[in-house]
Amino acid sequence: MFRVNTDIPGAMEVVHPNKFLPNLRPIEEFRHTPLIPVSEKDLLKYKESVEQKNRKGYYVEIRKDTIVFYMIAALAIGTVFYTFLMVNEKQMRIKQDLERTKTLRNKALRGKKGANLLPEREKNDNKGASF
Question: Along the 131 residues of the chain, how does pLDDT read in single tens digits?
Answer: 566 666 666 666 666 666 656 567 776 776 666 667 778 898 899 999 989 888 887 778 889 999 999 999 999 999 999 999 999 999 999 999 999 898 888 877 776 655 556 666 666 666 655 55
CB 121 within 8 A of CB 114: yes
The sign of the CA dihedral 115, 116, 119, 125 is negative
pLDDT at 18: 64
Alpha carbon distance 55, 42 (integer Å): 20
pLDDT of residue 109: 74
Question: Domain residues of the chain, as ranges?
Answer: 64-114
